[in-house]
Amino acid sequence: MVCLYDYQTDIISRLFESWRTQRSVMMQMPTGTGKTHVLASVVKSLTYNEDRGDVSLCHETGSDRSECDGGQIWIVAHRRELVAQIEETMERYGIDGNAGKVRAMSIQWLVRHWDDVGGKPSFVIIDEAHHSIAVSYKELWSKYPEAKFLGLTATPCRMNHIGFTGLFDTLICSWSIAEFIRKGRLSAFDYVSIRPDSRAQRLIDSLEKRGADGDYQTKEMNATLNRQQSIGLLYESVMKYAGGMKGIVYAISIDHARSIAVFYNNKGISSVAIDSKTPAAVRKRMVDDFKEGKVKVLVNVDVFSEGFDCPDVEFVQMARPTLSLSKYLQQVGRGLRKSEGKVSCVLIDNVGLYRVFGLPTVEWNWEDMFRGVIAGKSCRMRNSLTALGLAGLQTQKQAVLDEMEQIVSHDMLLEALCRRQDEFSRKPEVRVSELKAWQDVGTGLWGLKRGRKNLTEARYVTVFDIRYDMAAVRFCDKSCGLVNDSGEILWQERHCRTMKFLKNRFLLVATSDNKEYYIDLFSMQTYDRMPKIKRYGNIELLRTGNIYYSRTRTVYVNNQNVDEYFIVWHRFYLSIFDYQVTIPVFGNNDNPSGNRWRYACLIEGDNDSFYWLYQCLADGSIIVEDTKGKFYHVEEGRGKTYIGDRESGRDDDLCRKEIKRLAESANSGKPIIEADKEKNRRVVLNDTDNAIPFKSGLKWGLKVGERITVPPIYRSVKPPVGRYCAVEKNYSQWGVITIDGTVIVEPRYSDVSIENNGKALLTSVTGKTFHVEL
């Protein structure tokens, strides 16, 4: 007998209890917690044989002997490799999975051999049951209506709001990943991810096409990311965070996997690529070499997302973007299995999945996903560090120019889990009934209800659609609009033909003359065409053509044809360069922000309005001004605090003094920050080969590589000579700046020529020329 852990015997006990009243049960257990052992133990219990002296869980749970002594037990999986793994595990329990009462088989084989399989099952156990929505699986339920079913999965969710209640009667769940880690059953992890303003994240944000399953289109991902530069960054990440370790890489395509393996091998990391076209014998040899340590890295394409068992995996590298929660958790789960001597695992997120799903330790609402109320897809975590109890704990500061950042270390993770244990205990949630329409038989009008409670009287001629706790309706005066669950009108239009809610909180409105327009449900702003969504952390911008709009009740519009490089994410706020707006000052010429230009600002979690960025303080906090002249101090994780109002006499003076006090207080950490700034400045100044002028609208700026160092504020910019550049501010007003934007010679000369010897030839308005040392 193989001993089971307490959580395994507990969930098996709950399974048999559920089978007393339910025919079909789905069981959720995180990847790496022994689902296959639970499966084998359940089969062992169902094949109870008193003469062999087996201990049966049927008796332990009070199940009837007749329930366990029925016909055959079928174990069905969606890949032959999983079947082989199940058979191997069952052998340890003394069960033959190829003959007699127990049969293990793949669904592909079964659908071709319904008539050859022989006999009927009393129990059907489906491994990786999140695939059971497929037509091939559904036939099992219709062919064998008397059989009991068990579905095992780590992720009872789908991307398309299709639940499992059409097949399974109930869901039973084990502990959360956080609880398994806290109790030492799964490995802790270090999590590193690309920065939100990195080149890699911008490439991923540019992906617009979707496949049939709703995930990113493989062809577009491959064309965007299967490039030497991107693969080079993958290699650098492994060397920096997991050098010499054994790991698995998840690639986009077969070609991408092979390119990564070749690159790693050329750099001295023993690697192999495995995909669906790899022959079974070759694949087995590669996996054996990996388990024995002869191969350091397995690069695969969806081959090891499910069922692969190698506990001593030391790192997992995610090189494939995905919108599927199931794929994300299946991938990271390969590294969380415990093994002797394994302290932790390194999760290297080169595609920004952390900002899409949060850390693996986030508490998922599996019950609602099982029922299809919530889709198992990208949810843009608001702040997964706070959800984990890590707020206030900071990782070591890194250079701003680094593409990667550490999100959490394993010791920091364990500290938080132990300190906030109560937050990770499973709490019953109060389910809110779905908003629905009801019709008055007498009048034929419609109202809104939740469950059996009517929320509004019957007052609508038509209810077009219901979503997001809102209803699109036609009123009795034939006008159309949006109402909330209490009937309050949120938006109204004179007339329309139909309305329909779309994903990402948009409403499609079709007019009586067959024209269509779209409404953003955050701001009620209307658009003639569907805007594209640009996400930065938890903040979203909408783009139509070259114009950007904020998704706030007071809408910010930037119609300056700005480049995406002018939009920068700063962990808790977004800054947008806007050279058409002047910098606010308090009655003098001082520039407290230290910038020569003006930025709009959107704050994470604040959907009411946009702000103007007034001052960046040394401690990373900011001071902003709203559209009514009120000033606020904003700190990460603490929201905004009112400072004062520039328009009201005495308050104006108090506001100015408070801003000065905040700046002085923040300066306590200024020496370190200034040192970091100077270090980054030297990096920029030394990168002269990548400094080039660029044009936006009618103005010119300068960028070094992918980083904009000078926004487009100049009339003209000459190509840099070394670290210096000649710029024209106004007509015939030339000066000199460094490539990081520092002004060396004020623009007031009719011409400037920079020489290679570090000197500049200046021509004054009178025609005189003279040299200056730069």
Cβ-in-10-Å burial (0-12, 13-18, 19+) of 670 comes to middle
Report the candidate in 257, 306, 238 with the shortest Cα–Cα distance to residue 78.
Answer: 306
Q: Is the pLDDT of residue 371 over 90?
A: no
Question: Which region among 193-197, 262-266, 389-393, 456-460 has the lowest average model confidence (pLDDT)?
Answer: 389-393
* Residue 680 belongs to some domain of the structure: no
DSSP 614-667: EEE-TTS-EEEE-TTSEEEEEETTTEEEEEEETTSHHHHHHHHHHHHHHHHHHG
Q: Which residue has the tokens 């495995």?
A: 274
What is the pLDDT averaged over residues 641-656? 70
Q: Is the pLDDT of residue 248 over 90?
A: yes
pLDDT of residue 88: 79
Per residue in 520-538, pLDDT (tens digit) is 998 899 999 999 988 887 7
What is the pLDDT averaged over residues 726-734? 89
What is the pLDDT averaged over residues 743-747? 88
Question: Which region among 57-66, 546-555, 680-689, 741-750 has the lowest average model confidence (pLDDT)?
Answer: 57-66
The answer on 391 and 497 residing in a single domain is no
Which domain CATH number covers 158?
3.40.50.300
Q: Is the pLDDT of residue 431 over 80?
A: no
Asked if residue 322 lies in contact with residue 218, where contact means CB atoms within 8 angstroms, the answer is no
176-185, 296-305, 530-539, 632-641, range with greatest mean pLDDT: 176-185
The answer on 318 and 214 residing in a single domain is yes
The rounded distance, in Å, linking the Cα atoms of 660 and 657 is: 5
pLDDT of residue 518: 94
Q: Is the pLDDT of residue 400 over 50?
A: no
DSSP 488-530: -EEEEES--SEEEEETTTEEEEE-TTS-EEEEETTT--EESSP
The answer on 767 and 621 residing in a single domain is no
pLDDT of residue 53: 39
Tokens representing residue 692 in the block: 């080039």
- Partners of 463 in the β-ladder: 473
Q: Domain range for residue 200?
A: 179-424
Q: Is the pLDDT of residue 452 over 60?
A: yes
The answer on 219 and 110 residing in a single domain is no
Q: Is the pLDDT of residue 59 over 70?
A: no
- Give the strands of the sheet with 498-502, arranged side by side: 498-502, 506-510, 516-520, 526-527
Q: Is the pLDDT of residue 639 over 90?
A: no
Query: pLDDT class for 585, splitting at 50, 70, 90?
Result: very low
Asked if residue 733 lies in contact with residue 713, where contact means CB atoms within 8 angstroms, the answer is no
**Hey, is 306 helix, strand or coil?**
coil
Per residue in 288-323, pLDDT (tens digit) is 898 888 999 999 987 765 556 677 889 999 999 999
The answer on 166 and 183 residing in a single domain is no
pLDDT of residue 393: 44
Question: Which region among 69-73, 100-104, 203-207, 582-586 has the lowest average model confidence (pLDDT)?
Answer: 582-586
Q: Is the pLDDT of residue 383 over 70?
A: no
pLDDT of residue 46: 85
Q: Which residues make Cβ contacts (< 8 Å) with residue 236, sequence separation at least 6? A: 403
What is the pLDDT averaged over residues 622-633? 86
Question: φ, ψ for residue 80 (rounded to 5)?
Answer: -65, -35
pLDDT of residue 51: 35
Query: pLDDT class for 607, splitting at 50, 70, 90?
Result: confident
Question: Which region among 69-83, 289-303, 361-375, 485-499 has the lowest average model confidence (pLDDT)?
Answer: 69-83
Report the candidate in 465, 467, 308, 305 with the shortest Cα–Cα distance to residue 375.
Answer: 467
* Residue 527 belongs to some domain of the structure: no
Mean of per-residue pLDDT scores for the chain: 82
What is the pLDDT averaged over residues 119-137? 88
The answer on 546 and 459 residing in a single domain is no
Report the candidate in 24, 5, 86, 73 with the shortest Cα–Cα distance to residue 45.
Answer: 73
What is the pLDDT averaged over residues 402-414? 86
Question: Which region among 32-36, 65-69, 261-265 has the lowest average model confidence (pLDDT)?
Answer: 65-69
The answer on 125 and 107 residing in a single domain is yes
User: Among residues 675, 703, 719, which one ends one of the domains?
Assistant: 675
Q: Is the pLDDT of residue 379 over 60?
A: no
Query: pLDDT class for 608, splitting at 50, 70, 90?
Result: confident
Query: pLDDT class for 223, splitting at 50, 70, 90?
Result: very high
pLDDT of residue 98: 56
Give the residue with greater pLDDT, 341 vs 187.
Answer: 187
* Residue 1 belongs to some domain of the structure: no
* Residue 506 belongs to some domain of the structure: yes
pLDDT of residue 221: 94
CB atoms within 10 A of CB 362: 17
How many domains, in total, are found in the chain?
Answer: 5
**Hey, is 192 helix, strand or coil?**
strand
With pLDDT > 70 as the criterion, what percentage of the chain qualifies?
85
* Residue 127 belongs to some domain of the structure: yes
pLDDT of residue 65: 44
Q: Which residue has the tokens 């190829």?
A: 98
- Partners of 462 in the β-ladder: 474
Q: Which residue has the tokens 């992720």?
A: 155
pLDDT of residue 316: 95
What is the pLDDT averaged over residues 498-522? 90
Per residue in 91-124, pLDDT (tens digit) is 777 776 555 688 888 888 888 888 777 788 999 9
**Alpha-helix runs per DSSP H in 633-749:** 649-666, 670-686
pLDDT of residue 669: 56
* Residue 429 belongs to some domain of the structure: no
The answer on 398 and 262 residing in a single domain is yes
Q: Which helix (H) or strand (E) holds 121?
A: strand 121-126
The answer on 313 and 247 residing in a single domain is yes
Q: Is the pLDDT of residue 617 over 90?
A: no
pLDDT of residue 433: 67
pLDDT of residue 582: 57
The rounded distance, in Å, linking the Cα atoms of 640 and 286 is: 55
* Residue 683 belongs to some domain of the structure: no
pLDDT of residue 619: 82
User: Among residues 642, 675, 708, which one ends one of the domains?
Assistant: 675
The answer on 607 and 459 residing in a single domain is no
**Hey, is 380 helix, strand or coil?**
coil
Query: pLDDT class for 399, splitting at 50, 70, 90?
Result: very low
Give the residue with greater pLDDT, 140 vs 2.
Answer: 140
Q: Is the pLDDT of residue 131 over 50?
A: yes
Query: pLDDT class for 567, splitting at 50, 70, 90?
Result: confident
pLDDT of residue 381: 47
| Cα-only R_g, the chain | 31
The rounded distance, in Å, linking the Cα atoms of 552 and 531 is: 15
Q: Is the pLDDT of residue 437 over 70?
A: yes
User: Among residues 626, 644, 675, which one ends one of the domains?
Assistant: 675
pLDDT of residue 262: 95
The answer on 490 and 589 residing in a single domain is no
Q: Is the pLDDT of residue 160 over 50?
A: yes
DSSP 422-486: GGGS-----PPPPEEEEE-TTT--EEEEETTEE-S-S-BSEEEEEETTEEEEE-TTS-EEEEETT
Q: Is the pLDDT of residue 286 over 70?
A: yes
The answer on 370 and 277 residing in a single domain is yes
With pLDDT > 90 as the criterion, what percentage of the chain qualifies?
30
Per residue in 252-264, pLDDT (tens digit) is 999 999 999 999 9
* Residue 516 belongs to some domain of the structure: yes
The rounded distance, in Å, linking the Cα atoms of 546 and 744 is: 34
Q: Which helix (H) or strand (E) holds 724?
A: strand 724-730
